[in-house]
Amino acid sequence: MSYKRCLGRSAMCISFSLLIWFLPVSSSGEFIEGDYMNGRGGMLLPDGGRYEGEWKNGMPNGHGTQTLPEGIQYVGEFKNGLAHGQGTLTSPDGSTYVGIWGNGKRHGLGTFTFPGGQKYFGEFEDNQFHGYGTITSFDGKKYVGEFRQGKPYGNGMFIPPDGGDLEGK
């Protein structure tokens, strides 16, 4: 999903694509080492990716690393083959997400860093900015406020790099 939004009366515009990614990891693929039923092991996945980490009942459960052929990598907790708990997603374009995952989606408190250096710190729901958060542009401009379904919503405050502020809806 791509999104472009100008905040407040400023010229601060934020463009980004939220990376919606996560394929469940199952025990179908080429087992390369260890115990993939219950224990620790690695597997080459049918799409060319790779999973290494803890397994329970033939599914990634516990700490592990999944790397996709495109170079996207997730390091963190898994539950039933999906990212669940604390984890870090890194993309070759320079974007990263560090935070809480729920059932393979960003869900909870986290920080998303955009390729251009902009950052969002706040709450996520169903892979989108949702709840209270702060977007900081690469040059220090900030928007602090509520987000709903990935967009600024309700009251918010624009804070320029010099420390003044503008409030609005």
Domain annotation covers residue 66: yes
Nearest to 54 by CA among 85, 84, 79: 79
The pLDDT value recorded for residue 17 is: 31
The pLDDT value recorded for residue 167 is: 59
Domain annotation covers residue 164: no
The pLDDT value recorded for residue 124 is: 97
Range of the domain at 88: 21-94
Residue 117 vs residues 69, 98, 112, 130: alpha-carbon distances, Å: 24, 14, 10, 21
Nearest to 168 by CA among 156, 153, 160: 156
Over residues 101-145, the pLDDT tens digits come to: 999 999 999 999 999 889 999 999 999 999 999 999 989 999 999
Domain annotation covers residue 121: no
Q: How far apart are CA 109 and CA 74, in angstroms?
A: 17
Q: How far apart are CA 100 and CA 93, in angstroms?
A: 21
Residue 155 or 78, more confident: 78
Burial 127-165 (b: 16+ CB within 10 A, else e): bbbbeebbbbbeeebbbbbbbeebebeeebebbeeeeee
Q: What is the pTM of this model?
A: 0.80
Domain annotation covers residue 131: no
Tokens for 27, please give them: 């025990």
Kindly indicate the confidence band of residue 1, based on its pLDDT and cuts at 50, 70 and 90: very low
Number of domains in the chain: 1
Residue 110 or 23, more confident: 110
Q: How far apart are CA 30 and CA 42, in angstroms?
A: 9
Domain annotation covers residue 102: no
Whether the Cβ atoms of residue 166 and residue 8 lie closer than 8 Å to each other:
yes
Residue with tokens 């990212």: 83
DSSP per residue, 29-63 = SEEEEE-SSEEEEEEE-TTS-EEEEEEETTEEEEE
The pLDDT value recorded for residue 32 is: 76
Whether the Cβ atoms of residue 66 and residue 51 lie closer than 8 Å to each other:
yes
Domain annotation covers residue 59: yes
Domain annotation covers residue 30: yes
Over residues 24-81, the pLDDT tens digits come to: 555 566 777 777 788 899 988 888 899 999 999 888 999 999 999 999 999 999 999 8
Domain annotation covers residue 152: no
